[in-house]
Structure 1
Amino acid sequence: MLASSALAGSAAALPGLAQAASPAPSTGLHKGSGPDVAWLDPAPPAAHEGQAWGQPWPRGTKYDKSGYHLSGKDGKIPLQTWPLAWWPDGSIKWTGHATAADAALADGFAVKPGAAKGAPSLKLADGSTAITVTNGATVWSIAKSGTNFLRATSADGRTVLEDVHFHATDQDKPGDDGTGPVEAAPKLIRSTGTITGAEIEQTGPIRAVVKLFGKFTGEGGDWMPFSMRLYFHAGSASVRIVHSQIFDGDPAKRFIRGLGLSGHVPMRDELHDRHVRFGGEDGGLWGEAVRPLTGLRRDPGETFRAAQVAGMPTPPLSEMSERVRPNLQFIPAWGDFRLRQPNADGFSIIKRTAPGFGWIDVDTAGRAPGLGYVGGTTGGVAFGMHDFWQRCPTGLDINDAASDKAGFTVWYHAPDAPAMDLRFYHDVMGMEDYVDQNRGLDVTYEDYEPGWGDASGIARTMEFRLWALPATPSRDRLAQMSATMETPARLTANTMRVYEADMFGPWSPPAADGNPLREKIEARLKRELDFYVGQVDQRRWYGFWNYGDVMHSYDNDRHVWRYDIGGFAWDNSELSSDLWLWTSYLRTGRADVFRMAEAMTRHTGEVDVYHTGRFKGLGTRHGVQHWADSSKQPRISNAAYRRFYFYLAADERCGDLMRDLNDSAKALSTVIIERKVNAREGDNRMTGSIGAGNGLPEGQVMMGFGTSWGSLLAAWLTEWERTRSEWAKSMIVNGMKSIAGLKYGWLAGGAPFDLKTGRFLGAGDEISISHLSGVFGVFEITAELLTLLDVPEYEEAWLDYCAVYNLTAEKYTLPGGAPGAAGRGLRQAHSRFTAYAGVMRDDPELKRRAWAEFFGPGDRTDRDQYAEGHRVTGDAVLRPVDEIIEISTNDASQWGLTAIENLTLIGDVLRP
């Protein structure tokens, strides 16, 4: 078939890529390569509410069933431990660990086998209708059914929190903006989150996890199914709530007006001993009493004023000035307080005495951390939401604080903001058939088909925290709580341990060897990483649905990203931006990169993927809206992008998302996932379509090796290593062996696929190579799999593909003169494929060729690949911004991954 010395020889017997390449020197990630675990940020926190993370282990490590502990400056720190993943030989690959609140406040720890004693502990009791968690002096009652999932919570024996529930308001039309004809007001529809099931996932003694299921119920019927987890850590008075809900309504009929988490707080104290707090910006705090004693015409006394400002109990009234005490009833009591963050740049606070009376402006500032408090000297509740200003429009409400029972609400979509409008953003524009839709694709890069740009089925995960407190905390303690909401402290595994265990494919930490070419590559890697981290804030990539994503392509003329141009707008994981960020974090240990990758994982796994409905299990290609493009594909729902966060953070929600993809191939039976590039003038058929409508027998679908099967590999791999599932392993191995059995192997590009067995069928006797096949995590996942499974025939087929992809026309021949692989796109990105084949086959020529391909013209030939960024100011832009000419997230992601992987694979033959 192929006449090329590049394909000569057999694969070297290499158990793993870490041994195939020359390891780069350690850069001491996380303050040196010594510690197993360290704080993500430069300094340990002053306090925290408990920690959980994943710890990697080299192949062959025996799992210690007796437990583990942290060993550090403070001695032995107890841990709760559970297995996350296993190596094929049965040894432990990842463990999950949890600490109590405020444990490990030094830095730099080793994870050691053997349990340690001394941590505070919590207890979980499973009753017939409720689950009780007792955590020191705090007792939580979790309902197994009904609307109030937290029935009552006590602190020091007094009930301080009741009736916690989720609720939503939607309306039947988008609403009148005041500029058009007068129309009937929208009809408001209210619904409440109702629990339908409960599971206990962990019982303590350090960490307890309760998972709840439910749906929103009300006059509009049942809708928006959700799941949530409640996390409790020993020694903490708080519960962390991770709530995931699916929008499954008709976007043309249900416009979400408000989404909130509410509860009640019994108020027992005198009005002047009741307190309200809101977190402010830059460590600030706004705090007042329900009935103020400061600023009065008559002074109640310094001890009263000081105590009230501090949130401490005031002295007995008998000690108050006679000029004030008899007249307390004439000082207004403020019952209702609101904080609103309508955008990422400003929030405001207002208050009023009671409904029916006017609101009074209080103050404004920039970005609220998302914390509120209401209570008194005998108990209260702090409440908040993570990513508060980033998920705008948001809000915090306190109401009836002057009554016997105050209420609070965390608005994760504020009800006084415009209603969510999830309708598609343009009309048909004459694109009724595939031919005209293809013409539209040609000019705007948007794959459009009427009815396919549907938001029904997308999801969003939000994180909240509630503290049940025996008294009003000090101002500095509340500021710490605000910091917890805005920038949570995080213990995490030293990424050098991930590297040493040979995980997540070929990557390595930066090496400082004085090589000018290496320095040139590292400079661009850092420059583009810094640029994207900065663009999130400069371009205000925030909002309920948007936060976590980045844009796809840049408009040099307008000096903006192409936010309104078809497929050039939101990136939606295109060409593995998630993978680039996580790999960059692994090699640098940067906290800002971790948090950007975390936000992207939350977004791309929820908003860009369908969790119910006809597209369930598929994701949406890049577009002006995250759900707009009609190309629905596994390459976007790809579990390869979730595995990092699942393992590094021991994040159960990511585990759910990946498990949901195990049978997502079934969607290919009913959904045509290809774009319409095959439709030509006079031919309105999807010829050669990979997906539905292909005339195959029931139980079979056409499946591409790269963007479909390659994406499913990550889900099956994760299921296999998490549970040692023989089914998941067989799906992988059967696919591998059947690809190797095709005439042209990986070069066939795709074949009929049996959904039950995981085998590809047919002869595979036609060449079909796509530039996209290997760039959605397939290269990285395959590199992992070949260190885990011994399927030599598949390895040969894969290495053939890697070696031939970038060959020029004169280097190969195909039967009958058929067109082959010459001129394929993304040639620079595929230089890492050439490098991989060179390492695995120990072929110096392939290694040299890979560097020549990498330093070639690039995948965007009109761009200076190493151009510096520059600032644009004045009347050319709305506000000063930084830009890099011709920047593209496709290019940045693929170049970044290729640079990292080439340095790892063939850095030893990089010559100036």
Structure 2
Amino acid sequence: MKNYSLSRRNFVKQSAVLSGGLYMAPHLASAFEDQESMPLEPVELAWLENPGNAQFGGVTMGVPWPKGQLKQSEFLLTNSAGKQIPVQSWPLAFWPDGSIKWAGHAIPQADEMGSDWKLMPGKGIRPSKEVKVEETADMIKIDTGIMQCQIDKKGPNLLKSIRRNGREGLKNGRLVLMKQDGILGEKASISTSLFEGEIYQVTVEQNGPVRAVVKLEGKHAAPGEDAWLPFVIRFYFYAGGASIRTMHTIVFDGEEEKDFIKGLGLRFDVPMEDELYDRHIRFAGKGEGVFGEAVRGLTGLRRDAGEAVREAQVQGKKTPPQSTFPESVRSRLHYIPAFGDYTLSQTSSDAFAIRKRTASGHAWLKSGFGDRSRGTGYVGGPAGGVAFGIRNFWQSYPAQLDIRNAQTENVEVTMWLWAPDAPAMDLRFYHDGMGQDTYEKQLDALNITYEDYEPGFGTAKGVARTSEMQLWVMEKTPSHEAFNALANGVETPPQLVASPEYLHQMGVFGKIWDLPDQSSTKKAKIEEYLNDYFEFYKGQVDDHRWYGFWDYGDVMHSYDYDRHTWRYDVGGFAWDNSELSTDLWLWYYFLRTGRSDVFRMAEAMTRHTGEVDVHHLGKFAPLGSRHNVMHWGCSAKQLRISTAANRRFYYYLTADERVGDLMKEQINAVATLKEIPPTRKVSSKSLWETDDDPNHVYAGFGTDYSAIAAAWLTEWERTGDDKIKTKLMNSMRTIAAQPKGFFTGGSRLDLRTGKFEIQDRQRATASHLSAVFGLMEICAELVENIDMPAFKTAWLQYCELYNASGEEQEKVLGNSLGGLNLGQGHSRLTAYAAQQKNDAQLAARAWREFFGGAAGYRFEKPEIYQVEGAEILHPVEEGHISTNATAQWGLAAIQCLGLVGSYLEE
């Protein structure tokens, strides 16, 4: 414990808490099943990726803590030199006894970026320059100690003014939206309107001393037009920082047939006072490439300005006094064109272009090009400037950075999240319905394209998109190396995480996974194949360019081997939309490996599936949409897609507030099933009809309940809300009381109490989908956190009998369940029952089911091969692989190893 300001004895005495060590030997970790008896050690944190040359404003992470130990969220953090780093902490989740389960921790930019970080409960230090927040009736002022920002509470100015060292570096930050009333080529004339964001509500969510968060909500407005396109913006400020992290969300509430977004972004003004030849433009290309020019160039002239002048301008430094310029140059400066307008445009994932012009009304000059820009720019001079960047710039194309009027005293910068250079955003459904005006026709069509169509259901109304941006107010033009550090920080924001060893020791997310194990031939092969499947999908993202504003983060559902492409245009076989828990597969794989590439893919998927695949307003809110050619196109609007179970990982690992919003949306989501019954097309109306009682809705004990329980468990963990806890426990108790437990299938849920009506039907039933959308994972957490033997018994019965023989099912339930699907995926349920009952025979059965490969994969190395030649557009990797099977195989492999790995025989 050397280098800590608190001695071990005083630390124990003062904090009366404990935490788990990072590299605890497995045999020791297993001995501490009661977390209250674990030894007191600091938690070691490491960078997800080596930050290297990356500049960032601050870092926020989530860390789990042992049950029963932490009552207050005070912590201290040290770096590899033993120096204390200021840290701001707050609870993210609580154990049932009220102790802290997860805590959020924020730190400012650190000078020393080593990997040896240690976090422990105790009283830490405060930053020398604290974030201070002052709120009045009209505005909010934030002072980071370096930068002072003013945010208006009404009107368009989200960032009214930002000053550094007393100088105003940025002003009039506002949202802009360009709307078209049609698509070029379809209408004779197109009308375009310009809207600006109008603030309706401002909330200070955190107010320092290390981190401040301000949330702004509103809509886009224009004179004579109805306000539309709701937005949620969060600004993040860190102590001693000169940057603002921005999280930008829009929710589409327009009419797809007439409201076409032509441009969407954040615009601000940059005051300028330097000479035109000292004003500089920077754009980040790929790798370490930088486009750098001055507004008025002094290089390449017919008359030489001198080496000192040329070098200063190229390096972005203040040039020598004009009086030292050669007369041949000084007397003719006014003849050198000043280029005031610059654009970096990324209109596909594989091409960006830079252009410039002197001013509006004059021709553009092609200035640079490349494939994938890092999406960061700068404008300014020796007196100061502003750097700005959009994360996932090329992945979320079309994106664009505009600099206008750089030759004047007021430069206008726009960070376009949807680039005006690109065609207008078209969210219309991709076909006219083809006469599917009855349920019978829709079900018949489902048999050919797997698309569940229904008129009016394939609307984009209510879907959302969240984007991340960064702003820096600079003292001077950064060197190319320093600018690269800014761009790298935008492209891959540094993230601190606890190790897989520590996360496993804390038993996060159900105690159903283990660390990688290659101690036997079979285990080594499972680990190898887990890696192979992940690597295949990571490669498919790039091979098939699964990028774009509305697409980035999702993967495709099924493959067309005749065309050598994924079925992007075939009904329900296209975008995956979390089908069979792709999100969970990635997150559990990250937990056990700690791999940064897995984290980043899961992060992108969480952002996408929680925003784009879910309706956040309108009659379908807050349900998600089943897989389809359009992310929102399927008429199956379901809880299993919008479930909080898919969001909890990212929230608890990063403390991300927007994902917290998405989970909170789901608390009462089940009520929407009254208007949108999931089984309306295939079951008797009497089964789900609840119009006689507005307080009841029919819900299944499978995909519905997994989402209901995930939302209620998460809200109870986050808030300690006794009402939510009561509803959750009532739901568990009344499922257990059903005549056949989970095999009863479903019942009417009282929305006020959380109680299910007790059914009188005696025939047991099951669906192959019930447990493959998070039910297994959430029930494991329910059993762990809530001592309810009857519920545990009912759940173990389901786990044990789903894959059992018909004779075994009939003996216990009174009837066989018939031919059930997804046997391999359900092997993890058998494994869970085996582990809970300490039953070696069940464990052996679980492994037989896993290796048996029913509705999954045989146990062999994935067959992946290269396809090239004239049959395809470009060479791609291909394999006999499906996303459903991969997600379920991955979860089964991870959880069978975690639960009954010791029973695996060679």
Q: Is the structural similarity TM-score above 0.5?
A: yes
**Superposed displacement of residue 509, structure 1:** 4.1
Q: Is residue 2:601 matched to residue 1:605? A: no
Task: Provide runs of 4+ in structure 1 moved above 6 Å.
Answer: 22-27, 814-817
Q: Is residue 2:209 matched to residue 1:205? A: yes
- CA distance in 1 between partners of 2:64 and 2:851 (Å): 34
Query: Aligned ranges for residues 115-514 of structure 1 at < 5 Å?
Result: 115-117=124-126, 119-176=128-185, 183-218=187-222, 219-514=224-519
CA deviations on 1:279-318 (whole Å, 9 max, x unpaired) are 1111111010000000000011111111111111111111
Query: 129-138 or 546-555, which moves further after superposition?
Result: 129-138
Query: 360-369 or 423-432, which moves further after superposition?
Result: 423-432
Are 1:579 and 1:641, in contact at CA under 8 Å, matched by a contact in 2? yes
Query: 414-423 or 498-507, which moves further after superposition?
Result: 498-507
**Superposed displacement of residue 234, structure 1:** 1.4
Q: Is residue 2:79 matched to residue 1:82? A: no
**Superposed displacement of residue 742, structure 1:** 1.0
SS, match of residue 327 in structure 2: coil
1:833–1:475 Cα change, 3 Å: same
**Superposed displacement of residue 511, structure 1:** 4.1
Are 1:447 and 1:675, in contact at CA under 8 Å, matched by a contact in 2? no
Q: Is residue 2:869 matched to residue 1:874? A: yes
2:102 to 89, 94, 99: 94
SS, match of residue 770 in structure 1: coil
CA deviations on 1:827-857 (whole Å, 9 max, x unpaired) are 1111111111111122222111111111113
SS, match of residue 288 in structure 1: strand
Are 1:581 and 1:593, in contact at CA under 8 Å, matched by a contact in 2? yes
Q: Normalised by the size of structure 1, how large is the TM-score? A: 0.93
The amino acid across from 2:895 in the alignment is E
Tell me which residue corresponds to 1:852: 848
Are 1:25 and 1:511, in contact at CA under 8 Å, matched by a contact in 2? no
**Superposed displacement of residue 822, structure 1:** 3.4
Residue-pair matches, total: 869
1:169–1:577 Cα change, 3 Å: same
Q: Is residue 2:716 matched to residue 1:720? A: yes
Query: 616-625 or 483-492, which moves further after superposition?
Result: 483-492
1:203–1:155 Cα change, 3 Å: same
Q: CA RMSD, aligned part only? A: 2.0
- CA distance in 1 between partners of 2:79 and 2:328 (Å): 61
Tell me which residue corresponds to 1:63: 71
**Superposed displacement of residue 695, structure 1:** 4.8
Tell me which residue corresponds to 1:788: 785
Query: 552-561 or 347-356, which moves further after superposition?
Result: 552-561
Query: Aligned ranges for residues 827-906 of structure 1 at < 5 Å?
Result: 827-860=823-856, 866-885=861-880, 887-906=881-900
The amino acid across from 1:727 in the alignment is K
Query: Aligned ranges for residues 554-573 of structure 1 at < 5 Å?
Result: 554-573=559-578
1:567–1:764 Cα change, 3 Å: farther
CA deviations on 1:574-610 (whole Å, 9 max, x unpaired) are 1110111011111111101101100000000000001
Question: Kindly, what percent of the aligned residue pairs are identical?
Answer: 46
SS, match of residue 287 in structure 2: helix
- CA distance in 2 between partners of 1:710 and 1:453 (Å): 25
- CA distance in 1 between partners of 2:334 and 2:471 (Å): 32
- CA distance in 2 between partners of 1:449 and 1:287 (Å): 53
SS, match of residue 852 in structure 2: coil
Gaps of 5+ in 2: 1-24, 31-40
- CA distance in 1 between partners of 2:646 and 2:670 (Å): 17
CA deviations on 1:737-766 (whole Å, 9 max, x unpaired) are 001111111101111111111110032523
- CA distance in 1 between partners of 2:282 and 2:235 (Å): 24
**Superposed displacement of residue 34, structure 1:** 8.5
Query: 736-745 or 107-116, which moves further after superposition?
Result: 107-116
- CA distance in 1 between partners of 2:297 and 2:650 (Å): 47
- CA distance in 1 between partners of 2:78 and 2:232 (Å): 32
**Superposed displacement of residue 24, structure 1:** 8.8
1:663 to 658, 668, 681: 668
Q: Is residue 2:739 matched to residue 1:743? A: yes
1:816–1:104 Cα change, 3 Å: closer
Tell me which residue corresponds to 2:552: 547
Query: 841-850 or 207-216, which moves further after superposition?
Result: 841-850
1:860–1:587 Cα change, 3 Å: closer
SS, match of residue 870 in structure 2: helix
- CA distance in 2 between partners of 1:817 and 1:848 (Å): 25
**Superposed displacement of residue 60, structure 1:** 1.9
- CA distance in 2 between partners of 1:168 and 1:732 (Å): 43
The amino acid across from 1:191 in the alignment is F
Tell me which residue corresponds to 1:12: none
- CA distance in 2 between partners of 1:211 and 1:533 (Å): 34
CA deviations on 1:57-105 (whole Å, 9 max, x unpaired) are 1112223454432353342222111111111112111111111113551
CA deviations on 1:257-284 (whole Å, 9 max, x unpaired) are 1102110011111111111111111111
Are 2:74 and 2:89, in contact at CA under 8 Å, matched by a contact in 1? no
Are 2:510 and 2:784, in contact at CA under 8 Å, matched by a contact in 1? no
- CA distance in 1 between partners of 2:229 and 2:153 (Å): 19
CA deviations on 1:416-454 (whole Å, 9 max, x unpaired) are 211111111111212111111111101111101111111
Q: Which has the higher contact order (CA 8 A, sep 6+)?
A: 1
Are 1:77 and 1:119, in contact at CA under 8 Å, matched by a contact in 2? no
1:329–1:48 Cα change, 3 Å: same
Query: 232-241 or 899-908, which moves further after superposition?
Result: 232-241
Gaps of 5+ in 1: 1-21, 28-32, 178-182, 679-685
**Superposed displacement of residue 533, structure 1:** 1.2
Are 1:26 and 1:510, in contact at CA under 8 Å, matched by a contact in 2? no
SS, match of residue 846 in structure 1: helix
Are 2:76 and 2:85, in contact at CA under 8 Å, matched by a contact in 1? no
**Superposed displacement of residue 864, structure 1:** 7.4
1:864–1:897 Cα change, 3 Å: closer
- CA distance in 1 between partners of 2:885 and 2:680 (Å): 21
Tell me which residue corresponds to 2:19: none
SS, match of residue 702 in structure 2: helix
Tell me which residue corresponds to 2:698: 702
Are 1:751 and 1:764, in contact at CA under 8 Å, matched by a contact in 2? no
Are 1:399 and 1:408, in contact at CA under 8 Å, matched by a contact in 2? yes
CA deviations on 1:553-583 (whole Å, 9 max, x unpaired) are 1112211111111111000011110111011
- CA distance in 1 between partners of 2:821 and 2:692 (Å): 30
The amino acid across from 1:641 in the alignment is N
1:173–1:581 Cα change, 3 Å: same
**Superposed displacement of residue 694, structure 1:** 4.8
- CA distance in 2 between partners of 1:116 and 1:274 (Å): 40
1:420–1:689 Cα change, 3 Å: farther
**Superposed displacement of residue 121, structure 1:** 1.9
**Superposed displacement of residue 143, structure 1:** 1.1
CA deviations on 1:330-384 (whole Å, 9 max, x unpaired) are 0000010111101000100110001111111111111111111111111111111
Tell me which residue corresponds to 2:14: none
SS, match of residue 875 in structure 1: coil
- CA distance in 2 between partners of 1:25 and 1:430 (Å): 65
Are 1:24 and 1:508, in contact at CA under 8 Å, matched by a contact in 2? no
**Superposed displacement of residue 493, structure 1:** 2.1
Tell me which residue corresponds to 2:540: 535
Tell me which residue corresponds to 2:80: 72
Are 1:68 and 1:81, in contact at CA under 8 Å, matched by a contact in 2? no
